[in-house]
Amino acid sequence: MAAKDYYNLLGVSRTASPDEIKKAYRKLAMKYHPDRNPGDKAAEAQFKSINEAYEVLGDPQKKSIYDSGGFTEGFDSASYQGAGSPFGDLFADVFSEFFGGGQRGGPNPQQGEHILRQVELSFEEAALGREISIKISRWETCSPCSGTGAKNGKAVRVCSTCRGTGYIRIQQGFFAVQRACSACGGEGRVVTESCPACSGRGRTSVDRTITRTIPAGVSSGVRVRINGEGHAGSFGGPPGDLFLDITVKPHPFFNREGDDLVVEKKISFLQAIFGDEVEVPTLGSPLTLKVEPGTQPGAIRRFRGKGLANPQTRHMGDMIVRLTVEIPTKLNREQRELLEKFASVSGEGGSHPSGGSSDGGGIFSKVKSIFE
């Protein structure tokens, strides 16, 4: 799947400054925040998308990777308020506008943690794409208590200290300060009997096997995002995502240059002189290459559209064949006499008698030097 257009999501140009990106995000976060749009699933989805966009464009390193097209479906987003995240101070600003600098009451929906796994693919698997199965252990919502952490999902009462608001209000002269309720930890509820299945956590650890298709054309360093396959969220929050960091093993003779598939093909010096048709290996059926008479060492031949797929644009690169000429290291008497005769007819001269030394003065050395 192609990467999302994060610039379009925030309504900024690709040349926007960090301050312009931050300003655009703040405006949209205020507009689509779930507290201002209760029950509006479309607003909730948009809020998540703009958070994801700012997670990338607000971080210079991630923005650079995104601009270079190094991701396929998304980025590994830390928790919105996590350490090192560009959201730390920004979210504090946004929340202060919502709540006048006070603490928010009640249990807040929290997105589940992301999961990161390393995946090693062969060159062919990365080039052609393949279905893979990843075994993971993740937290899932506890079924017996429906994620409440209370026995049968019902052993819960409203906190008597904050009366379910999750915070207490303290008057200090002309100022009123709101703080998280210490009796319920800001959740607005108290579990009277913990769920035995999850010990009151609301989530249980489950082993899963996730099967997905890796798109054709991925390369080392690409991170593939599988939405919703991370740890379960808390208090009705969405699940995290599963990220796969791709490493591609090298191939014995194929190389990748961008979206082009590169291979070296050896031909004899006689094929280079007289021309020939040779078979070139590919990742599928072999191709037939016509070697023109007089082909020089290092010559390049290109097969359009026979390279690798770009997982973002689906554009196909080319197959590039680099021709190398093999020079024989040993000649029998007849071969040497023929080459010396060729040298004499060509006016090369300097040949030594048949069967003589094959060092610097010989025709073989001169023929060899032509192809070096």
Most confident of the following: 1-15, 180-194, 271-285, 333-347: 271-285
pLDDT at 171: 67
Tokens of 46: 């948009």
Domain membership of residue 86 (yes or no) is yes
Q: Are strands 223-226 and 242-248 parallel, antiparallel or unpaired?
A: antiparallel
Number of domains in the chain: 2
Q: Report if residue 155 sits inside a domain.
A: no
Residue 43 to residues 22, 28, 48, 225, 367, Cα–Cα distance (Å) = 19, 10, 9, 22, 75
**Cα–Cα distance for residue pair 9/51, rounded to 1 Å:** 10
Of the given ranges (76-90, 99-113, 288-302), which has the lowest mean pLDDT?
76-90
> Is position 159 within any domain?
no
Tokens of 360: 């610097």
The answer to whether residue 354 is domain-embedded is: yes
Last residue of a domain, one of 101, 129, 154: 101
Which domain CATH number covers 357?
2.60.260.20
Dihedral over alpha carbons 352, 358, 364, 369 (to 10 degrees): -110
Tokens of 56: 């990338």
Top-confidence residue, 78 or 112: 112
Q: Which domain holds residue 259?
A: 254-370
Q: Decide: helix, strand or coil at residue 269.
A: helix
Which range, 22-26, 88-92, 102-106, is most confident?
A: 22-26
pTM summary value:
0.57
Residue 285 located in a structural domain: yes
Asked if 21 and 54 count as a contact pair (C-beta separation under 8 A), the reply is yes
> Which domain-ending residue is among 101, 123, 145?
101
Confidence band, pLDDT 50/70/90 cuts, at residue 1: very low
Do 148 and 192 contact (CB within 8 A), yes or no? no
Q: Determine whether 200 is exposed, middle or buried from the number of CB atoms within 10 Å of its CB (0-12, 13-18, 19+).
A: middle
| Cβ neighbours for 208, distance < 8 A, ≥ 6 positions apart | 135, 136, 137, 138
Domain end among 101, 131, 155: 101
Residue reference for tokens 């082993």: 207
Other Cβ atoms closer than 10 A to 87: 22
Q: Is residue 164 in some structural domain?
A: no
Grouping H, G, I as helix, E, B as strand and the rest as coil, residue 123 is helix
Q: What is the CATH number of the domain that holds 8?
A: 1.10.287.110
- Among 142, 146, 138, 141, smallest CA distance to 231 is for 138
* Separation CA 14–CA 53 (nearest Å): 13
* Most confidently modeled range among 20-29, 76-85, 262-271: 262-271
Is 318 a member of any domain? yes
Residue 207 within a domain: no
**Among 10-24, 161-175, 246-260, whose mean pLDDT is lowest?**
161-175
Please tell me the distance from the alpha carbon of residue 341 to that of residue 363, in angstroms, as a whole number.
9
